[in-house]
Amino acid sequence: MSDEGKVTIFVTSGPATPQRCATPFYMASVAAAMDNEVEMIFQIDGILLLKHGVSEGLFAKEGGKSVADFIQDAKDADVEMYVCSAALQLHDMTEDDLTEACDGVVGAAYMTDVGLESDMVLTY
């Protein structure tokens, strides 16, 4: 049922709410598997999910897959992942603090444009 659209997922939830951290990656993987172009943009505490060493020890459910596994599934599905430049500053981080899953740093104008151009925007 895919029409090859564009899906953008904004992720603001971070490690403090682990039950909210797997679903954005799962939804991104599903949307990509349905032949959609998918971008994830990490803002506020969401960028912490792409910080070295964080996602490996984070689980949405005890005994379930790690968030790192969900990230890898999304990357395997060709999901692009970007972080907000202001969120890096908020957490006193640099690009060097981010995992290789991150495809780059974007600003407010980019995020606004991508949201307006998307067929579907999800926020977690």
1 located within any domain:
no
What is the CATH classification number for the domain harbouring 108?
3.40.1260.10
Containing 105, the helix (H) or strand (E) segment is strand 104-106
For 7-50, the pLDDT digits (tens) are 999 999 999 999 999 999 999 999 999 999 999 999 999 999 99
CA distance 29 to 15: 20
For 25-36, the pLDDT digits (tens) are 999 999 999 999
80 located within any domain:
yes
Res. 3 pLDDT band, cuts 50 70 90: low
30 located within any domain:
yes
Looking at residue 4, what is its pLDDT?
86
For 81-93, the pLDDT digits (tens) are 999 999 999 999 9
Give me 92's structure tokens. 């006193």
Domain tally for the chain? Answer: 1
Instruction: Indicate if the pLDDT at residue 2 is higher than 60.
Output: no
When pLDDT is averaged across residues 40-62 and rounded to a whole number, the result is: 97
Range of the domain at 67: 6-123
Number of other CB atoms surrounding residue 6 within 10 Å: 15
How buried is 16 (Cβ within 10 angstroms: 0-12 exposed, 13-18 middle, 19+ buried)?
Answer: exposed
When pLDDT is averaged across residues 75-80 and rounded to a whole number, the result is: 98
